[in-house]
């Protein structure tokens, strides 16, 4: 890891801990996910880039989303960790203690700090895999996908820094609106998108394309768990 990136990381989080991260993979993937869901379906895995800067843009339907992402796109699959940009409130308490040791870092959605933004860009410059939920919060029914401008603008900033960032739309689906024991879960990766242009209009245009692709991926995930109507 470049020195500048390492220095900035120490101001935000503890990075990917060599003890807690492997232990968390065993607990969450081999024990929790394996025993909670009777089926964990991964679609479109060939669309997930294994090299270069990757910005994963998943729908946000449940607290299980993060675990599904690390199972399908984490170190065991891609050889690299999912670095989650999460809200400040999620980094508090016992949950925050663990997240801080798993490579997650906070951002204030109302007033994002330059440190958080620069760190996110540095991760992409370093060809790492960044996860940002562009809806900004859990939307259980997903009646319509409405994206914040943050992800698009972050991608634009990375491009201005010369990063060939690949934005991967991701759809998550569960057989129940609130996933229950022995229910089904699915995740679908769509083809990567590239940001073109800078400024507000370009961001709005990209968000429309991203939202459409995320919705298509989510519909595929819902179909895989036998729940095609995402409002029920």
Contact criterion met (CB below 8 Å) for 104 and 20: no
User: Residue 16: inside a domain, yes or no?
Assistant: yes
User: Residue 231: inside a domain, yes or no?
Assistant: no
User: Residue 211: inside a domain, yes or no?
Assistant: yes
User: Residue 229: inside a domain, yes or no?
Assistant: no
User: For the chain, how many structural domains are there in total?
Assistant: 1
Listed in sequence order, the residues at least 6 apart from 216 whose beta carbon sits closer than 8 Å to its beta carbon are 169, 171, 190
> How many angstroms separate the CA atoms of 45 and 77, rounded?
9
The pTM for the full model equals 0.92
User: Residue 106: inside a domain, yes or no?
Assistant: yes
Q: What is the span of the domain harbouring residue 64?
A: 3-224
User: Residue 230: inside a domain, yes or no?
Assistant: no
CATH code (residue 45): 3.40.1130.10
User: Residue 73: inside a domain, yes or no?
Assistant: yes
Round to the nearest angstrom and report the end-to-end CA distance of the chain: 45
Contact criterion met (CB below 8 Å) for 157 and 130: no
Place of tokens 């500048």: 4
Contact criterion met (CB below 8 Å) for 44 and 217: yes
Q: In what order do the strands lie in the sheet with 129-131?
A: 37-43, 183-189, 166-174, 54-58, 129-131, 82-87, 105-107
Q: For every one of its 232 residues, what pLDDT tens digit does the chain have, with 9 covering 90 and above?
A: 665 676 667 667 778 889 999 999 999 999 999 999 999 999 999 999 999 999 999 999 999 999 999 999 999 999 999 999 998 888 888 888 889 889 899 888 777 778 888 999 999 999 999 999 999 889 887 678 889 989 999 999 999 999 999 999 999 999 999 999 999 999 999 999 999 988 899 999 999 999 999 999 999 999 999 997 655 4
Strands (E), 116-182: 129-131, 166-174
User: Residue 111: inside a domain, yes or no?
Assistant: yes
């Amino acid at each position: 890891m470049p020195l500048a990136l390492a220095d900035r990381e120490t101001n935000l989080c503890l990075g990917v801990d060599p003890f807690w991260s492997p232990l968390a993979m065993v607990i969450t993937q081999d024990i929790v996910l394996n025993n909670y869901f009777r089926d964990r379906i991964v679609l479109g895995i060939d669309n997930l880039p294994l090299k270069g800067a990757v910005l994963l843009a998943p729908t946000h339907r449940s607290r299980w989303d993060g675990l599904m992402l690390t199972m399908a796109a984490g170190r065991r699959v891609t050889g690299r960790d999912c670095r989650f940009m999460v809200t400040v409130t999620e980094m508090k308490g016992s949950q925050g203690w663990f997240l801080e040791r798993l490579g997650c870092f906070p951002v204030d959605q109302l007033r994002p700090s330059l440190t958080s933004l620069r760190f996110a860009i540095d991760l992409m410059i370093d060809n790492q895999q960044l996860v940002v939920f562009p809806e900004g919060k859990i939307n259980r029914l997903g009646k319509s996908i409405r994206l914040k401008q943050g992800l698009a603008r972050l991608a634009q900033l990375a491009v201005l820094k010369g990063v060939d960032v690949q934005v991967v739309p991701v759809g998550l689906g569960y057989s129940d609106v609130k996933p229950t024991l022995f229910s089904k879960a699915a995740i679908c990766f769509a083809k990567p998108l590239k940001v073109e242009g800078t400024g507000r209009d370009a961001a709005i245009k990209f968000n429309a394309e991203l939202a459409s692709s995320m919705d298509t991926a989510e519909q595929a995930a819902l179909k895989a768990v036998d729940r095609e109507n995402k409002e029920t």
